[in-house]
Structure 1
Amino acid sequence: MRKGGAWWAWLTFAIGATYFLVPLIATLEFSMRQRNNPVFSLFGQGYSFGVFNNVFGDPRFQQTFTYSVLAAIFTILLGVLIVVPTAYWVRLRMPYLRPVIEFVTLLPLVIPAIVIVFGYIRMYGSNSMLPFLGTTGGTNVLLVIGYAVLSLPYMYRAVDTGLRTVDVPTLTEAAQILGAGWTTIIARVILPNVLIAVLSGAFLTFAIVIGEFTMASLLNRPAFGPYMQNLGANRAYEPAALAIIAFALTWGCMAMIQFLSRYAPRSANRPN
């Protein structure tokens, strides 16, 4: 039975790996096709890494990627400032609100991003009382807030899972006995204990922001997602190279989550 189970497990793994890897390899093979000055040949087809040099050397790539990275950093900071205190307070003092908070954090998975961004345009447009979209800085702020909303389900669940491994009441009482205030407790006691969970949510947020298209496009921001779409409409090999780069970034973030999860604190069975 064990041998049979292991055989089926490896077969399932092989089928799944083939399903994911074959399109990726085909995309990489297409992106490396080079008609002029091939570096090497295989089955009569010339291949080169020149398309990746073209992509990395494109000023628009550097500008849009830098913009999205900065937007991701601010989104992560905003998400941490909102989620960590909220999840901590719900677990410590208001556990009865946990189903409500979980429902609210799931709404971005139900409400499409295009609905959210159209709401921003109608509410914060030039004809409204709060014309954030009338300035570049205001539009950037709205975009970061929109990204924080999209990443809320992943950030909240990562932090909430991390808090489950920590004895929150005991740590809070010990910090209060030593004279710590609420800000000190969250920043110097709770946050270091859930740092691995926060980093997991941060990497997921980074992957979401890098590939997001709808909000950045409708708000007319120079982000990486619209750049990939525009390049795909006008070039042949560069979009395939960008797809490989985006895939590598996403899976790099997932690999970091798996690596950091090894150092996550293990706890005994504590009540939720």
Structure 2
Amino acid sequence: MKSLLSFGCGNMAQAIIEGMYKEKSPLKYVLYTPSDTKAIKLSEAVDGEHLGSLDTIPRCDFYMLSCKPQQLSELAQKIKGKLNPDAVIISILAGTTTEVIKKELSVSKVLRVMPNTPSLVGAGVNAFFFSGEVSKDERDFLVETFERFSKVFSFEKESEIDVITGFSGSGPAYIFEFSRILIEKMISMGIEREVATEMIKWTFYGSSKLQLESLDTSEELRNKVTSKKGVTYEALEVFKNSNFEKIVDTALDAAYNRSVELSK
């Protein structure tokens, strides 16, 4: 059985590791956090081990970088030269290129992952970029492992990770924000909060499920809900006249520019 050591156990790392564990991936887990608390808790949840110190680091097949991007240099100083040189480094650090990771840790095999939070419920999207040194067998194993609890998209150009970050990575936040707005509006019009919340949750869930299972495009699905001069039509006309598409376009450009900025 292969082994994975995660340096950091934040929400995203927890989602990935618990996703692997729940889907019975052939991995054993070693967890580390500076304060120990989260690592101990997660190790208990996945029948793993807690690493209490970075003085001695076990030889693992995979090491996952799950700290904050700005903490990488500090972590690298403590672990550089102590890792299995043949291991694949899995990085979920936003805006951190494979070349930076190679330089910081003196490693060659790197998988850069742009995940998203729906991995917590087995419905995540994970974007992959492998450095050229990762073998086909290693790539196949990692894709298969992540596909047990998410949808994996592999990219040949690392620059494409910066493009998709503002879509799949940030996308859930846009959906949650739109959901929040709808819920609050329903409440302001007299619907009880609990009812409004459940109705909007199920509306988003059902719409996503329909889109996944339908052969229709997003535009065709929208049109099937919309009758000329009807209720939906009037709402969509306000979106159109308020230049909603342009607002979204501008927001996504801002997200992309920030992603590129962080990568430099």
**TM-score (normalised: structure 2):** 0.27
Q: Whose helix fraction is larger, Structure 1's or Structure 2's?
A: 1
